Amino acid sequence: MHPNPAFRQEPAVANLYFAWQRGFGTLSINADPAPSLARVPFVMDQDGKVAELHLVRLNPIARAVVAPP
């Protein structure tokens, strides 16, 4: 069977390195009535387990985190 390149998995280290280099991504939450997305700048810690990010107060995701429905 020929493996489809779309489903190849990269090592976790390669993915973390890409994120450290980029420092920008998409944050998504499952909100009501539909999912919410925000593009956010972020900084990751050394082991890649914690990311600090920035959301403006008026962003619907920031409001959902502060005051859940």
Is 0.85 surpassed by the pTM of this model? Answer: no
Give CA–CA dist 34/3, Å, rounded. 34
In a domain, 36, yes or no: yes
Q: pLDDT tens, 33-69?
A: 889 999 999 999 988 899 999 999 889 888 887 665 5
Identify the band that residue 32 occupies on the pLDDT scale cut at 50, 70 and 90: confident
In a domain, 17, yes or no: no
In a domain, 37, yes or no: yes
CA dihedral 23, 24, 29, 34 (to 10 degrees): -170
Indicate the number of domains in the chain: 1
Identify the band that residue 23 occupies on the pLDDT scale cut at 50, 70 and 90: very high
* CA separation, residue 19 to residues 2, 29, 43, 48, 65 (Å): 29, 19, 9, 9, 23
In a domain, 3, yes or no: no
